[in-house]
């Protein structure tokens, strides 16, 4: 497998140099951007497989950078910040971040979290041939094209963040089964994710809204006190 590329968007040079050094030693290809605007520009040039994003940048916030990247690319994002506020973590996840690391951090932990995300991507990837396309069809309206990472409803493409898409696919692959919020957090966000069940609820609400559904007429059924089921 080719060397994975990681973009580090971090304005503190001592931190970016340290992270880049460790990741280079692990066999990754790294590139550093020192502010948000530079990071947004470099994403399209470097096309990273993963982004380490500082929350407190000198020009624009990491939240805004995360939102813009998630709207245009399907790239996992790990936020790095000195803040440990749960509200900030939830907001970051809502905007498309895949994980959250609080400074000061141990580089071994950073590397483990990166490997966990890449391993999850590999496990959920689908091998296809030129004549085979993996499509999950939900009723007569919704189609999920796995290898393209795309969702269509009535032939209209719906834009999802990474986690919204992963959550919908996991429910679709386990349709008919009631999945608890705890299991969804484990399978979609990973066992190391620091958050609570509200994260799942927020993402379900966003999926319903984007598919122009409400909780009373959605293909995702709420099982009160337990979790969710795709019907």
Give CATH for domain 5-124: 3.40.50.2300
Q: What is the CA radius of gyration of the chain?
A: 18
**pLDDT for 85-129, tens place per residue?**
666 667 767 777 888 888 888 899 899 989 888 887 665 544 433
User: Cα–Cα–Cα angle for 176, 180, 185, nearest 5°?
Assistant: 115
With a CB cutoff of 8 Å and minimum separation 6, the contacts of 229 are: 171, 175, 176, 177, 178, 179, 220, 221, 223
- How far apart CA 79 and CA 62 sit, in angstroms, is 8
pTM of the model: 0.59
Show the tokens assigned to 102. 């609080």
d(CA 59, CA 68): 14
- Provide the edge-to-edge strand list for the sheet that holds 220-223: 179-180, 227-230, 220-223
**DSSP conformational letter for 197:** T
CB 95 within 8 A of CB 67: yes
Least confident of 93-102, 130-139, 140-149: 130-139
For 80, list phi and psi in degrees, rounded to 5: -120, 125
Domain ranges of the chain: 5-124, 135-230
Whose tokens are 């971090």? That residue is 10
What are the residues whose beta carbons fall under 8 Å from the beta carbon of 91, sequence distance 6 or more? 63
Can you tell me whether residue 151 is helix, strand or coil? strand
Looking at residue 120, its pLDDT comes to 73
pLDDT confidence band for 159 (50 / 70 / 90): confident
**Does the domain at residues 135-230 carry the CATH identifier 2.60.40.10?**
no
């Amino acid at each position: 497998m080719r060397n994975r590329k990681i973009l580090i968007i971090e304005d503190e040079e001592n931190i970016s140099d340290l992270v880049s050094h460790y990741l280079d030693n692990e066999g990754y290809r790294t590139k550093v951007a020192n502010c948000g605007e530079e990071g947004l520009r470099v994403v399209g040039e470097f096309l990273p497989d993963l982004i380490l994003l500082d929350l407190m940048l000198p020009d624009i916030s990491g939240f805004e950078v995360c939102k813009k990247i998630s709207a245009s690319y399907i790239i996992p994002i790990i936020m790095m910040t000195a803040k440990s506020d749960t509200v900030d973590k939830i907001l970051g996840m809502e905007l498309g971040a895949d994980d959250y690391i609080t400074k000061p951090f141990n580089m071994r932990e950073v590397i483990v979290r990166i490997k966990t995300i890449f391993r999850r991507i590999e496990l959920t990837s689908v091998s296809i041939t030129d004549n085979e396309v993996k499509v999950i069809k939900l009723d007569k309206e919704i189609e999920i094209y796995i290898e393209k990472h795309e969702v269509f409803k009535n032939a209209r493409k719906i834009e999802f963040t990474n986690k919204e898409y992963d959550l919908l696919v996991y429910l679709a692959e386990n349709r008919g089964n009631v999945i608890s919020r705890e299991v969804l957090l484990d399978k979609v966000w990973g066992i190391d994710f620091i958050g609570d069940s509200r994260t799942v609820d927020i993402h379900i609400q966003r999926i319903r809204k984007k598919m122009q559904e409400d909780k009373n007429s959605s293909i995702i059924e709420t099982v009160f006190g337990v979790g969710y089921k795709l019907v």
